[in-house]
């Protein structure tokens, strides 16, 4: 899988400067979503893996029972007491069959995890690539449970351990012992399934530190919507119901939500963000590639292939399909309307067909990065975190933004 990914990056992913489009095989969408590939020209900084040995006594294990892991690059200088904790993304498994498969991959077993990972974008150690967080302690917690670090159950017959909540706690405890308890500043971030995990665990993260510590959260591509799909159903709600039920996640979801809504509804950020007390920044594309492909117009809801070309390439969408996708954008803007009124929260919703922008160097901070009002994502997040400026940036509707790095699928 790893080799296939890099082969795809080398020969299957073509960057076209004049339209800022990236091409990737449709079957590789899950790999894109899981890995958030860097397209930086410079050789990325590689950071080795740390297996969390103390997790065994806590029963904090991956789907296959192996120990969880993280990658840690220690901060220095002015960033020595500042911590960025990044929760890895990579989809979910919603039934025994998909979870059994998942445990044969790096998303379900530390046996298959890369021994080192590139730290790019918000994880970069280069001030020219990551001006505000380059010298912080930067950590990527690996994702091997399949329920955004929330499950706590097991299926003995299938030899599956659903221990995402325990993994989260074990990793955080280990990092606290390595100096994070002394943090003066802390930021929890994540992309996609990790962006959802960031929302779910944001207030827990805040609770780890004294009141004087500046603690905030950044969710990238984690604003999954309970939207109506092209067949008039709710594909993602049905999928999330399987995740929450199978993995026993309900007891670990925010009680501010579960005290009045069903557990599956409380896996959707639109029912969570209003009650999060910790400052939160939502970074999302208005036309999220993953949601278009897997939630709004999945092949299962499009038996005659009407959406096939549009699903792969936004430029091939018909007028009525674009109108449908504008409805999705309107849903997203309605969801964040109340959230954006809070002075402590931040927002950057650009009108791109993409997914995950904080961990890729080309979209986080580069010469041709996406911008809203001439401000790149890295600068918007930094302005918000350090209170340099209020950031409530919402792009004009497609196709007005010519700075997007659209994803086009073959």
What does the H/E/C string look like for 125-184? Answer: CCCCCCCCCCCCEEEEECCCCCCCCCCCEEECCCCEEECHHHHHHHHHHHHHHCCHHHCC
Query: Which stretches of 33-81 are assigned E, i.e. beta strand?
Result: 45-51, 69-73
In the residue annotation, 64 being an active-site residue is answered as no
> One of 20, 45, 314, 355 is an active-site residue; which one?
355
In the residue annotation, 288 being an active-site residue is answered as yes
Burial tier of 48 (Cβ tally within 10 Å: 0-12, 13-18, 19+):
exposed
Burial tier of 387 (Cβ tally within 10 Å: 0-12, 13-18, 19+):
exposed
3-state secondary structure of 123: helix
Cβ count within 10 A of residue 278? 17
DSSP 83: E
What is the full DSSP assignment across 97-121?
HHHHHHTTSTTT-GGGS-SEEEE-G
> One of 192, 295, 340, 351 is an active-site residue; which one?
192
Partners of 22 in the β-ladder: 15, 407
Cβ pair 60, 170 in contact under 8 A: yes
CA distance linking residue 213 with residue 278, whole number of Å: 12
What is the full DSSP assignment across 247-292?
HT-GGGS-HHHHTTS-TTGGGSGGGTGGG--S-EEEEEETT-HHHI
Buried b / exposed e across 112-124, counting CB within 10 Å, b at 16+? Answer: bbbeebbbbbbbb
Cβ pair 293, 31 in contact under 8 A: no
In the residue annotation, 192 being an active-site residue is answered as yes
CA distance linking residue 296 with residue 68, whole number of Å: 33
Token digits of residue 70 = 């993280």
> One of 288, 362, 393, 395 is an active-site residue; which one?
288
Residues with a catalytic annotation lie at: 192, 288, 355
């Amino acid at each position: 899988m790893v080799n296939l990914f890099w082969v795809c990056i080398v020969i299957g992913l073509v960057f076209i400067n004049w339209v800022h489009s990236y091409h990737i095989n449709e079957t590789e969408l899950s790999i894109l979503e899981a890995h958030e590939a860097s397209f930086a020209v410079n050789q990325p900084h590689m950071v080795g893996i740390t297996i969390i040995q103390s997790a065994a006594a806590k029963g904090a294990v991956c789907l296959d029972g192996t120990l969880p892991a993280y990658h840690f690059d220690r901060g220095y200088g002015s960033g020595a007491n500042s911590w960025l904790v990044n929760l890895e993304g990579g989809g979910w498994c919603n039934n025994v069959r998909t979870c059994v498969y998942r445990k044969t991959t790096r998303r379900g077993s530390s046996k298959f995890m890369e021994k080192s990972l590139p730290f790019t974008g918000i994880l970069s150690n280069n001030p020219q690539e990551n001006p505000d967080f380059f010298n912080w302690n930067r950590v990527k917690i690996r994702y091997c449970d399949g329920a955004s670090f929330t499950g706590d159950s097991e299926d003995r017959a299938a030899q599956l351990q659903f221990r995402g909540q325990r993994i989260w706690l074990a990793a955080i405890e280990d990092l606290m012992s390595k100096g994070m308890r002394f943090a003066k500043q802390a930021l929890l971030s994540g992309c996609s399934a990790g962006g959802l995990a960031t929302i779910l665990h944001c207030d827990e993260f805040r609770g780890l530190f004294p009141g004087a510590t500046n603690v905030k959260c950044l969710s990238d591509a984690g604003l999954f919507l309970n939207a109506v799909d092209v067949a008039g159903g709710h594909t993602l709600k049905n999928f999330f119901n399987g995740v929450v039920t199978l993995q026993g996640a309900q007891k670990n979801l925010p009680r501010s939500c579960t005290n009045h809504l069903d557990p599956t509804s409380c896996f959707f950020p639109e029912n969570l963000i209003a009650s999060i007390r910790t400052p939160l920044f939502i970074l999302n594309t208005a036309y999220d590639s993953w949601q278009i492909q897997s939630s709004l117009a999945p092949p299962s809801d499009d038996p005659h292939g009407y959406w096939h070309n549009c699903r792969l390439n936004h430029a091939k969408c018909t007028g009525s399909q674009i109108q449908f996708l504008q409805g999705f954008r309107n849903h997203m803007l309605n969801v964040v309307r109340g959230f954006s009124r809070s002075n402590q929260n931040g927002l950057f919703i650009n009108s791109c067909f993409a997914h995950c922008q904080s961990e890729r160097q080309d979209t986080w901070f580069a010469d041709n990065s996406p911008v809203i009002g001439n401000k790149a994502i890295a600068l918007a997040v930094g302005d918000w975190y350090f209170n340099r400026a209020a950031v409530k940036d919402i792009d004009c509707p497609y196709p007005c933004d010519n700075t997007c790095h659209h994803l086009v699928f073959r």
